[in-house]
Structure 1
Amino acid sequence: MANFFTTALFPVMNQYFGMPVTFLIHGVICLVYFFFVKTSVPETKGKSLEEIEKLLQKG
């Protein structure tokens, strides 16, 4: 969904704000996504499906 909005809004934002501001806005959005995933998505590397299921049922 984020990819769709990025693709759809890029030409419009580029026309109104210019290339540097458009990339700055998209960079800030990427940072927000990064910190959301870092803080909200549990680590599942090396865990079995049963362990992951229990982890997701807790939260």
Structure 2
Amino acid sequence: MSYRDYVIAAYVVFAIVLLWDFVVPKLQVRAALRAARLRASRTIPRTAARPDPMELER
């Protein structure tokens, strides 16, 4: 293996790591947004959970 092969291999590894650093955060954000949407759809809407502010309670 010549010096040129090592340089090519280093650039290939660098490109893979750069691509990984670009793609993985986007996938994590997509998963977090999906989880938040699912969680929001399972909970009671905020207006239904709160009593009317004009209603008196004991």
Higher helix share: 1
Q: Normalized against structure 1, the TM-score is what?
A: 0.43
Choose between structure 1 and 2 for higher RCO, CA contacts under 8 A separated by at least 6 residues: 1
Which protein has the larger Cα radius of gyration, Structure 1 or Structure 2? 2
Q: Normalized against structure 2, the TM-score is what?
A: 0.43
